[in-house]
């Protein structure tokens, strides 16, 4: 009897390797779990009819890839040839991908198969998965609450045992904050180590594919598979330029005073203290770091992201992709297609971005945000060069909140307090499941590393992750 709530890729690979179970049987077990749970949770917005066929092919082919025969969930903004991908938006509801994303090609080569696509905030804008065209996803720990976002579908799918691992994306925290809310691992790689080709662009200079997994080890496995070089993504860093000096983590940067003084949930403050004490007990030296970058990051991000998004989303004009509303002339067609295809948050950010990039305002907003971005990046470089080997923070300022519980956009943006600086600088970061509040809601902690220390922070995370099965049922 397989317990999908706790089965890791590593364990599944052992069972498959020993012939205890076939990929078809394993996939069937997950499909049954989906059948039982997805009606309520809405983590998957489509289950692929050919999942079992792919499993049967894996069984026949006897391959040796590290993910051979392992079923996965894929966020709705990552392209799989011949499958729908819509970024959770009405404007792309009928769009079918014409090619495989680089990460999909690599996963296929490693033998993985895809069970379905997972729900998300529209175009990745949000922290709750409530802005999806397909309705909200619910948190498996407490279905009256959100799973976080924007990769909430992937997080809920992994946490509820519908799939052992899933891909998400992370532009400002979208893989880590949902992982924290659902009690699993969420990993955001060093910018440029995972190809963005075939990941629908939100803000190209911040976007990376992320991994949602049960353990840091599983995330590490998947990261190794997807982080190959890709000459078709101009921002992908050649292997020869990825520094690999594996430094042991001794000194850990902390935000003790900042966390204590901020308006964040008491359970998160307590959890952070507990984590710092555990780190100290394990022999790590804790170093208080300058916290100005966390204060600046929100303003910087909410200028840069809308600017890049307004440009990236200009391609959805009713001519080339997805939805087309028919009106008398071309201009009306653009206007009505976009007005009917985009949701409120997307419209808000397009307006903000277009304004910030307009003549007369570009220097005052976009220019200034970019200058601040350079400062934030320089601060991280200096910290890692001179003071610390890693930095730890809570992942989110609260545990999972109620569906409908946050109605103001600004309050929603505060969810990103700890996650944004990482994307702004492009460093790697993992959220590990650490503890829970009195109501049993999961609380995650973030481990931030220097550029290219992805494997090191994941190894470090292994020592501190608490793999409590958080799901209530």
Alpha helices in 195-343 (DSSP H): 216-226, 256-261, 266-281, 292-312, 330-341
353 binds ligand GLN (CB under 6 A): no
124 binds ligand GLN (CB under 6 A): yes
Using DSSP, state whether 84 is helix, strand or coil: strand
Residue 109: its H or E element: helix 102-109
76 binds ligand GLN (CB under 6 A): no
Choices 32-40, 170-178, 179-187, 431-439 (CB under 6 A): range interacting with ligand GLN = 170-178
- 352/445 with CB nearer ligand GLN: 352
Q: Which of 142, 218, 389, 416 binds ligand GLN (CB under 6 A)?
A: 416
431 binds ligand GLN (CB under 6 A): no
- Do 27 and 113 contact (CB within 8 A), yes or no? yes
- Do 291 and 418 contact (CB within 8 A), yes or no? no
- 27/137 with CB nearer ligand GLN: 137
Burial classification of residue 442, based on how many CB atoms lie within 10 Å of its CB (0-12 exposed, 13-18 middle, 19 or more buried): buried
- Do 67 and 221 contact (CB within 8 A), yes or no? yes
Q: Which of 59, 76, 170, 296 binds ligand GLN (CB under 6 A)?
A: 170
Choices 32-40, 166-174, 264-272, 280-288 (CB under 6 A): range interacting with ligand GLN = 166-174
Interaction pattern, residues 187-226, with ligand GLN; x per rule: CB under 6 A: ---------------x------------------------
- 157/202 with CB nearer ligand GLN: 202
73 binds ligand GLN (CB under 6 A): no
130 binds ligand GLN (CB under 6 A): no
125 binds ligand GLN (CB under 6 A): yes
Q: Which residues contact 459 (CB under 8 A, 6 or more apart)?
A: 216, 220
CB of 46 to ligand GLN, least distance (A): 20
33 binds ligand GLN (CB under 6 A): no
Residue 116: its H or E element: strand 113-118
CB of 346 to ligand GLN, least distance (A): 11
d(CA 471, CA 448): 27
d(CA 405, CA 266): 18
DSSP secondary structure of 361-400: TTIIIIIHHHHHHHHHHHHHHHIIIII-SEEEEESSSSSP
**Enzyme catalytic residues:** 75, 150, 174
Applying the rule CB under 6 A, the residues between 266 and 305 that interact with ligand GLN are: 305
> Which residue, among 92, 84, 134, has the nearest Cα to 114 in the 3D structure?
84
Give the interface size with ligand GLN as a residue count (CB under 6 A): 14
127 binds ligand GLN (CB under 6 A): yes
HSE (CB half, 13 Å, CA atoms) of 66? 15
- 405/440 with CB nearer ligand GLN: 405
Q: Which of 126, 192, 253, 394 binds ligand GLN (CB under 6 A)?
A: 126
CB of 34 to ligand GLN, least distance (A): 24
Q: Which residues bind ligand GLN (CB under 6 A)?
A: 124-127, 150, 169-174, 202, 305, 416
């Amino acid at each position: 009897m397989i317990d999908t709530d706790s089965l890791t890729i590593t364990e599944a690979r052992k069972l498959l390797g020993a012939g205890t179970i076939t990929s078809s049987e394993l996939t069937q077990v997950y499909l049954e779990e989906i059948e039982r749970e997805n009606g309520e949770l809405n983590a998957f917005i489509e289950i692929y009819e050919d999942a079992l066929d792919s499993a049967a092919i894996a069984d026949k082919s006897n391959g040796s890839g590290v993910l051979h025969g392992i079923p996965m969930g894929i966020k709705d903004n990552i392209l799989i040839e011949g499958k729908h991908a819509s970024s959770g938006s009405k404007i792309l509801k009928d769009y079918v991908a014409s090619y495989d994303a680089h990460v999909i090609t690599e996963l296929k080569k490693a033998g993985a198969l895809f069970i379905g696509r997972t729900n998300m905030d529209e175009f990745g804008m949000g922290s709750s998965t409530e802005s999806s065209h397909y309705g909200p996803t619910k948190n498996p720990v407490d279905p009256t609450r959100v799973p976080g976002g924007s990769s909430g579908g992937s997080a809920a799918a992994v946490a509820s045992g519908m799939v052992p691992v899933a891909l998400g994306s992370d532009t400002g925290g979208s893989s880590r904050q949902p992982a924290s809310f659902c009690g699993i691992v969420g990993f955001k790689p060093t910018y440029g180590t995972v190809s963005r080709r075939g990941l629908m662009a939100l803000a190209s200079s911040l976007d990376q594919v992320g991994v949602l997994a049960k353990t840091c080890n599983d995330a590490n496995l998947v990261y190794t598979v997807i982080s190959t070089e890709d000459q078709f993504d101009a921002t992908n860093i050649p292997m020869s330029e990825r520094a690999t000096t594996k430094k042991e983590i001794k000194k850990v940067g902390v935000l003790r005073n900042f966390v204590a003084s901020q308006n964040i949930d008491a359970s998160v403050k307590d959890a952070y203290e507990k984590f710092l004490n555990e780190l100290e007990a394990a022999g790590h030296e804790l170093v208080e770091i300058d916290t100005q970058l966390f204060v600046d990051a929100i303003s910087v991000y909410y200028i840069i992201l809308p600017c890049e998004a307004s440009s990236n989303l200009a391609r959805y004009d009713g001519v080339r992709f997805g939805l087309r509303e028919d009106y008398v002339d071309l201009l009306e067609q653009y206007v009505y297609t976009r007005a009917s295809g985009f949701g409120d948050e997307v419209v808000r950010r397009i307006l903000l971005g277009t304004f910030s990039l307009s003549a007369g305002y570009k220097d005052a907003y976009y220019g200034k945000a970019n200058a601040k971005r350079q400062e934030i990046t320089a601060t991280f470089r200096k910290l890692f060069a001179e003071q610390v080997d890693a930095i730890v923070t809570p992942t989110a300022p609260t545990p999972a909140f109620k569906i409908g519980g946050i109605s103001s956009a600004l309050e929603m943006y505060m969810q990103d307090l700890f996650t944004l600086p990482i994307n702004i600088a492009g460093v790697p970061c993992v959220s590990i499941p650490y503890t829970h509040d009195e109501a049993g809601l999961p609380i995650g902690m973030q481990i931030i590393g220097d550029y290219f220390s992805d494997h090191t922070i994941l190894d470090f995370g292994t020592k501190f992750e608490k793999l409590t099965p958080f799901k209530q049922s």
